Amino acid sequence: MEMKLQPQPHVLLLPFPAQGHIKPMLTLAQLLCHAGIHVTFVNTEHNHRHLTQRESLSARFPTLRFRSIFDGLPSDHPRSISPYFLDIVTSLRSTTAPLLHQLLVSLASKTNDDIGAAAGDQLPPLSCVITDGLMCFAIDAAEEVGLPVIAVRTSSACSVWCYLCLPKLIEEAELPFGDEDMDKTVSGVPGKECLLRRRDLLSICRMPVDHPVFKFFMEEHIAITRASGLILNTFEDLESSVLSHIASKFSKIYPIGPLHALLKSRVDDHDLSSSSTAMAASLHREDRSCMTWLDSQRPGSVIFVSYGSLVKLTRVQLLEFWHGLVNSGSHFLWVMRSDVLSDEGEHMRHVTPTELEMGTKERGFIVDWAPQEEVLAHDAVGGFLTHSGWNSTLEAIWAGVPMLCWPQVADQQVNSRWVGEVWKIGIDMKDMCDRTTVEKMIKALMGGEEREVFTRSVDRFSKLARASVSESGSSYHNLEKLIQDLRNL
């Protein structure tokens, strides 16, 4: 008797509308499609228009379809997470949530007519929603349609555990706190009682507990535990102790990071270079001229400087960093986004000091955006001055590059504490930004006595990351479990 093939599942992926969330979610989409699963990837209309290489990704992965949904904001809204975060999340909850419900009803129907499907290619009914953990209105929408939900947190496990402990921190009167005694340790994060100081907690912990942004994150991390599972972009050997705590809150957790590396290990495609995956998920146009400049530099001599896609600097901060970089004597590649200044337009109004122009001409290279994974993998790069965003931290660990951390928002303060104190793969420079400190820290990172400790430690974690995405590795195995669980739905 001929066996009937079981149809492949169809999942909808919903990222939070920011570069650092879209990139790992789109990598996850490619991994699922490679396993034959149908994926509908839903961006806001604004980000859908700006996402590069949609067509080439759809051609490479025939079961990947892109859809867009209205975010409720006027067309001329800047949609910058900083300082418009509340605008964005309020609009998503009020306008996007009901539109998502309508889309789920349509895709869950056995007769759904998907506009992205080729003629005669009937898309199977939607079987699961995989939502970003900051889009928990999707849990309500999915439950109303009768669909299971798996959540994704694109930040570190250590920061997720801190978010989940917010109620406990309030209950134990460790939140809120004032500006005084920022080095006081906190005990309300089980398992990390002697590690975290007030300054190392999530950036929202510096707000009043009734602040709308604090309340948003607290509500989302209470809601997220209703999901049937949690996907994390990390690996067991990196965050095992924290993962065991998180596992107490969810029936299933899937640590499958580093996602960008897992994709390369799973997809045997010579066209799938680090540049093509990065570009596919980028809302910024990369300037590849920096790669030619790096080719002309000595091995390990360059410090790469990037504050990610969201962090803003004042002009004073930018000049302090610039002086520190030039005075350190190191060669540097600096991603200086056109929108990096918090005081818009200030960049053009002031003349750059002559000594900075001369120092940059001699030893520096500045671009608006760089192919970060390729830059970190380049032999010339010996250090990374970073905002400690989780994608950047994982990419540096994978490449074996020690870090100088200057965290600003969200999970970054927690990540930088782990970099400096737990993993010992770099220096935590949080809450400091003067040229003397920047110069001193760069010299320590690039050639000080501690450098050998950093490089030895980051090399060890880099090897563990590579092992995790190999066929016998934990992340590879956890992805297999996720795929099987989706098929069993």
Q: Residues 165-193: what's their mean pLDDT?
A: 91
User: Per-residue pLDDT for 110 more than 80?
Assistant: no
Q: Cα(380)–Cα(374) distance, rounded to whole angstroms?
A: 11
Say whether 132 is catalytic: yes
CB contact at 8 A, 45 and 70: yes
The confidence score (pLDDT) of residue 111 equals 64
The confidence score (pLDDT) of residue 355 equals 83
Q: Cα(414)–Cα(57) distance, rounded to whole angstroms?
A: 34
CB contact at 8 A, 278 and 286: yes
User: Per-residue pLDDT for 243 more than 70?
Assistant: yes
The confidence score (pLDDT) of residue 478 equals 97
In the DSSP assignment, the letter for residue 206 is G
Task: State the catalytic residue, choosing from 10, 21, 245, 331.
Answer: 21
Q: Which CATH number applies to 10-154+227-257+469-488?
A: 3.40.50.2000
50 burial type by CB count under 10 A (0-12 exposed, 13-18 middle, 19+ buried): middle
**Does residue 55 come out as left (phi exceeding 0), alpha (psi in the -120 to 50 range) or beta?**
alpha
Query: Of residues 64 and 357, which shows the higher confidence score?
Result: 64
Q: Cα(200)–Cα(309) distance, rounded to whole angstroms?
A: 22
The confidence score (pLDDT) of residue 113 equals 55
Q: Cα(466)–Cα(155) distance, rounded to whole angstroms?
A: 20
Beta bridge pairs of residue 364: 332
Q: Residues 420-446: what's their mean pLDDT?
A: 94
The confidence score (pLDDT) of residue 83 equals 78
Q: Could you name the CATH architecture of 285-466? A: 3-Layer(aba) Sandwich (3.40)
The confidence score (pLDDT) of residue 357 equals 81
Q: Cα(267)–Cα(243) distance, rounded to whole angstroms?
A: 27
Query: What three-state secondary structure class fits 185?
Result: strand
The confidence score (pLDDT) of residue 62 equals 92
pLDDT, averaged across the chain: 88
pLDDT confidence of 313, banded at 50, 70, 90?
confident
In the DSSP assignment, the letter for residue 365 is E
Q: Cα(166)–Cα(411) distance, rounded to whole angstroms?
A: 13
Q: Which of 179-188, 210-219, 305-314 has the highest mean pLDDT?
A: 210-219
Strand ranges, E, within 191-233: 229-232
Q: Cα(365)–Cα(372) distance, rounded to whole angstroms?
A: 14
The number of C-alpha atoms within 13 Å of 306 and in the hemisphere containing its C-beta is 25
The confidence score (pLDDT) of residue 84 equals 85
The confidence score (pLDDT) of residue 270 equals 47
Range of weakest confidence among 249-258, 269-278, 391-400, 449-458 = 269-278
The confidence score (pLDDT) of residue 275 equals 43
The confidence score (pLDDT) of residue 308 equals 81
Ordered by start, the domain boundaries in the chain are 10-154+227-257+469-488, 285-466
DSSP sequence for 285-342: ---THHHHHHHTSPTT-EEEEE-TTT--B-HHHHHHHHHHHHHHT-EEEEE--TT-BS
What tokens does 99 get?
A: 């539109």
Q: Residues 100-129: what's their mean pLDDT?
A: 76
Say whether 46 is catalytic: no
DSSP sequence for 39-98: EEEEEEHHHHHH-TTHHHHHHHSTTEEEEEE--S--TT----HHHHHHHHHHHIIIIIHH
Beta bridge pairs of residue 332: 303, 364
Q: Residues 101-129: what's their mean pLDDT?
A: 75
Query: Could you read off the pLDDT of 79-90 as tens digits, one per residue?
Result: 777 778 899 999
The confidence score (pLDDT) of residue 351 equals 66
Report CA 429 to chain centroid distance, whole Å. Answer: 20
Query: Could you read off the pLDDT of 271-292 as tens digits, one per residue?
Result: 454 444 443 455 567 878 899 9
User: Per-residue pLDDT for 130 more than 90?
Assistant: yes
User: Per-residue pLDDT for 97 more than 90?
Assistant: yes
Q: Cα(431)–Cα(363) distance, rounded to whole angstroms?
A: 27
Helix-helix angle 157-164:212-223, to 10 degrees: 100
| Residue 449 CB neighbours (<10 A) | 7
The confidence score (pLDDT) of residue 457 equals 96
Q: Provide the greatest CA pair distance for the chain.
A: 82
Rounded to two decimals, the pTM is: 0.89
285-466: same fold as 10-154+227-257+469-488? Answer: yes
Q: Residues 317-343: what's their mean pLDDT?
A: 87
User: Per-residue pLDDT for 176 more than 80?
Assistant: yes
Q: Cα(341)–Cα(311) distance, rounded to whole angstroms?
A: 9
Percent of the chain's residues with pLDDT above 70: 91
**Does residue 53 come out as left (phi exceeding 0), alpha (psi in the -120 to 50 range) or beta?**
left
Range of weakest confidence among 128-137, 365-374, 467-476 = 365-374
Q: Cα(264)–Cα(140) distance, rounded to whole angstroms?
A: 34
Instruction: Report residue 57: phi and psi, to 5°.
Output: -65, -40
Query: What three-state secondary structure class fits 197?
Result: strand
100: enclosing H helix or E strand: helix 97-108
The confidence score (pLDDT) of residue 268 equals 63
The confidence score (pLDDT) of residue 100 equals 94
Q: Which of 67-81, 110-124, 157-171, 316-330 has the highest mean pLDDT?
A: 157-171
The confidence score (pLDDT) of residue 135 equals 94
Task: State the catalytic residue, choosing from 71, 114, 132, 428.
Answer: 132
Instruction: Report residue 39: phi and psi, to 5°.
Output: -125, 130
The confidence score (pLDDT) of residue 119 equals 38
Query: Of residues 315 and 119, which shows the higher confidence score?
Result: 315
The confidence score (pLDDT) of residue 280 equals 47
User: Per-residue pLDDT for 343 more than 80?
Assistant: no
The confidence score (pLDDT) of residue 279 equals 39
Nearest to 440 by CA among 306, 305, 311, 327: 327
